[in-house]
Each structure stands twice: as structure tokens, then as C-alpha cells.
């Protein structure tokens, strides 16, 4: 599947490999982004977007970069050209309706998580989008109706529901680890019926062998007050990882190794502080039962 030919690989993985290779080649040549832009009569922002993976690079532009960087190995150059071509293939996330209504960072996340071998999520306030039910997701998104147009909310909800199928239901699903603050169990979003349905879906997801969910008890939740939600993605193809951070109407994909490593440490600390999966599952089931009883009374 990942044989280096570009066949069977996602555009996101090829783009990420190309991005990293071009940055390393520029640094090895002792060139700054400004010097590259000046030499090729490009804007600095174009060079920056290519190295960040925000845009694809044409074969013509790629060969100009390789010539400038002194990359003469034909096998290496051919491999990068294949990656450039693969990176321009379109997936479902490239449909205009998604591109028009999702953030650039979310579009990157949709591509990358479909190839991740492991996904670790920390969420102190909500069930994460990839595991949300339609009713729960609608309520959360409608909270932002004064900030987000209806079309944006509709497409973001559709993307959330599609993500679950594309990631967790794929033939080779990733190891998925989720840490929730205990307060999530008591935050009744959308009312008892919506929350009961959400917890029932979460419990079903936890039956999958690759899905592990833990709850951090109130007594050990001091760190929760200091951290925003984040997602870590690991890949089999190389030893790099990515960080996705989400805030109020703002999100970003982070490549910087020092920031990724810092959040690896945060996650490891939180995971150790949390209840184990069996205890966490029992807490979720108990809360789900209470909410279900409330809907029947």
C-alpha cells in the first residue's frame, strides 16, 4: 500500500512527504525561503505555502526547486515528482462544497487522519467531532449560529459524520485513544435524550478493539483547565507526527517537532492520570442509564 510509487497512497501523505523533503533540501543547500523566492521570482508566501503543505506544487515548479537545491539524484527526483502528482489527486474532502465551508486546517485533517496509524485525542469539554451523533453535533454547531452561516454548519456536520466512517470503518483503522474530562459526562448538551444517544454511540465505539477511551476524574483534572483540545496523529510511513489544535472558531495543523513532542508529553500525563478503560466505560454506562431513565419519566 505504501510502496513509494505513489500508488495506493493518499494525496495528503504524498504532500506531507514532499513538503518535508523540500524543506530539508532547501536547508541542506543553505538557502532561506526569501532567497529561494528571489531566485525563482516567486513570492515568499508561495515558498512558505509549499513547505507547509497548504498548496500542491506543479512538476515544473518542483523541478525548478530541485535544480536550485542541487538535487541531482535521478531516483530521488523521480520519487518527488511522483509524490507531487499524487498530491494533486482529489479525495472527497476536495469537493467544492467542503472546500467552501471548512477551514484549511480541517481539510488537511480530513486527509491526514484517513492515513494515520494512531490518533490520540484530548477533549476537556465535549465529545470530539469524529464520534458525535447527528443530534449532538447539530446542537454544538448551532451554538455558533451567530458566527457561522447555516451552510457552514450543515457542511461541518456532514463532514463530522463522514469522518467517522472514513476513519474508524476503514479496512485498516488506526489505534484511536480518547481522553475526556469527567465534566463531559455531566454537561447535558441538547438535553437528556440527546446525551443518552451520544453516550450510547460512544459505548458502541468503545467495543471496537482499536478504540480506547479514558475518563480523567475531577480530583485529577487540574491540567484540564490549562489545555485546549488537541489531536495527535502518527503515521507508519515515517516517524513524524502532527498536531491538530482547535479553539473557538480557530484551528491549526502544527508540524513543528518541539510543539508536537510537548503535546505527546501532555497526552501521556493525562492518559496515566485517567481511569482505565473498564472503569471509564462503567462511568459512561451509568451516566447513560440515568439520562435514559430521565427521558422515560
Q: What would the mean pLDDT of 167-186 be, rounded to a whole number?
A: 92
Confidence of residue 2 (pLDDT cuts 50, 70, 90): very low
State yes or no: pLDDT of 8 exceeds 70: no
- Least-confidence region, from 9-18, 21-30, 166-175: 9-18
Q: Cα(60)–Cα(87) distance, rounded to whole angstroms?
A: 15
State yes or no: pLDDT of 188 exceeds 50: yes
State yes or no: pLDDT of 176 exceeds 70: yes
* Higher local confidence (pLDDT), 20 or 279: 279
State yes or no: pLDDT of 168 exceeds 60: yes
Q: Are 136 and 127 in contact (CB under 8 A)?
A: yes
Q: What is the mean pLDDT of the chain?
A: 88
Q: Cα(65)–Cα(71) distance, rounded to whole angstroms?
A: 9
State yes or no: pLDDT of 7 exceeds 50: no
State yes or no: pLDDT of 76 exceeds 70: yes
pLDDT of residue 225: 65
User: What are the cell numbers at 268?
Assistant: 501521556
pLDDT of residue 237: 57
pLDDT of residue 19: 87
- Write out the DSSP string of 150-206: HHHHHHHHHHHHHHHHHHHTSSSPPEEEEEEETHHHH--TT-HHHHHHHHHHHHHHH
Q: What would the mean pLDDT of 212-232 be, rounded to a whole number?
A: 83
Percent over 90 (pLDDT), the chain: 62
Summarised one tens digit per residue, pLDDT across range 142-166 is: 998 888 899 999 999 999 999 888 8
- Least-confidence region, from 122-131, 178-187, 243-252, 286-295: 243-252
Summarised one tens digit per residue, pLDDT across range 79-131 is: 999 999 988 877 777 788 888 888 888 888 888 887 889 999 999 999 999 99
Helix (H, G, I), strand (E, B) or coil at 68: helix
pLDDT of residue 223: 63
DSSP for residue 274:
S
Confidence of residue 221 (pLDDT cuts 50, 70, 90): low
Angle subtended by helix axes 277-296 and 192-206, to nearest 10: 150
Domain coordinates in residue numbering, the chain: 11-89, 93-296
Q: What is the pTM of this model?
A: 0.76
Q: Does domain 93-296 have CATH number 3.90.1150.10?
A: no
Give the β-pairing of 175-181 and 230-234: unpaired
Q: What would the mean pLDDT of 17-27 be, rounded to a whole number?
A: 91
pLDDT of residue 284: 97
Q: What would the mean pLDDT of 19-47 be, rounded to a whole number?
A: 94
State yes or no: pLDDT of 293 exceeds 90: yes
Q: Cα(168)–Cα(282) distance, rounded to whole angstroms?
A: 22
pLDDT of residue 43: 95
pLDDT of residue 10: 66
Pick the CATH number of 11-89 from 1.20.1280, 1.10.287, 1.10.260, 1.10.3470: 1.10.260
Q: Cα(293)–Cα(29) distance, rounded to whole angstroms?
A: 67
* Higher local confidence (pLDDT), 124 or 297: 124
233: Cβ–Cβ under 8 A, 6 or more apart, which residues?
112, 113, 116, 118, 119, 241, 242, 243, 244
State yes or no: pLDDT of 181 exceeds 50: yes
Amino acid at each position: 500500500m505504501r510502496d513509494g510509487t505513489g500508488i495506493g497512497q493518499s494525496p495528503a501523505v504524498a504532500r506531507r512527504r514532499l513538503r518535508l523533503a523540500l524543506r530539508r533540501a532547501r536547508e541542506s543547500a543553505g538557502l532561506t525561503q526569501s532567497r529561494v523566492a528571489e531566485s525563482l521570482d516567486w513570492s515568499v508566501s508561495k515558498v512558505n505555502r509549499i513547505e507547509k503543505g497548504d498548496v500542491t506544487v506543479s512538476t515544473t515548479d518542483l523541478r525548478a526547486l530541485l535544480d536550485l537545491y542541487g538535487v541531482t539524484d535521478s531516483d530521488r527526483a523521480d520519487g518527488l515528482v511522483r509524490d507531487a502528482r499524487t498530491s494533486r489527486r482529489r479525495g472527497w474532502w476536495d469537493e467544492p462544497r467542503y472546500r467552501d465551508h471548512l477551514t484549511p486546517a480541517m481539510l488537511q485533517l480530513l486527509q491526514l487522519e484517513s492515513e494515520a496509524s494512531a490518533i490520540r485525542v484530548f477533549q476537556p469539554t465535549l465529545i470530539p467531532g469524529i464520534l458525535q451523533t447527528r443530534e449532538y453535533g447539530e446542537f454544538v454547531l448551532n451554538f455558533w449560529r451567530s458566527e457561522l452561516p447555516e451552510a457552514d454548519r450543515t457542511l461541518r456536520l456532514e463532514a463530522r459524520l463522514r469522518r467517522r466512517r472514513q476513519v474508524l470503518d476503514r479496512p485498516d483503522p488506526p489505534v484511536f485513544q480518547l481522553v475526556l474530562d469527567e465534566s463531559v459526562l455531566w454537561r447535558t448538551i441538547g438535553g437528556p435524550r440527546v446525551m443518552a444517544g451520544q453516550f450510547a454511540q460512544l459505548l458502541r465505539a468503545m467495543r471496537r478493539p482499536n478504540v480506547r477511551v479514558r475518563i480523567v476524574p475531577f480530583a485529577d483534572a487540574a491540567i484540564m483547565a490549562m489545555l485546549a483540545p488537541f489531536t495527535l496523529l502518527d503515521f507508519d510511513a515515517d516517524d513524524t507526527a502532527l498536531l491538530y489544535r482547535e479553539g473557538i472558531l480557530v484551528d491549526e495543523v502544527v508540524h513543528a517537532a518541539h510543539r508536537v513532542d510537548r503535546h505527546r508529553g501532555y497526552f501521556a500525563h493525562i492518559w496515566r492520570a485517567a481511569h482505565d478503560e473498564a472503569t471509564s466505560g462503567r462511568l459512561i454506562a451509568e451516566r447513560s442509564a440515568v439520562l435514559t431513565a430521565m427521558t422515560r419519566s
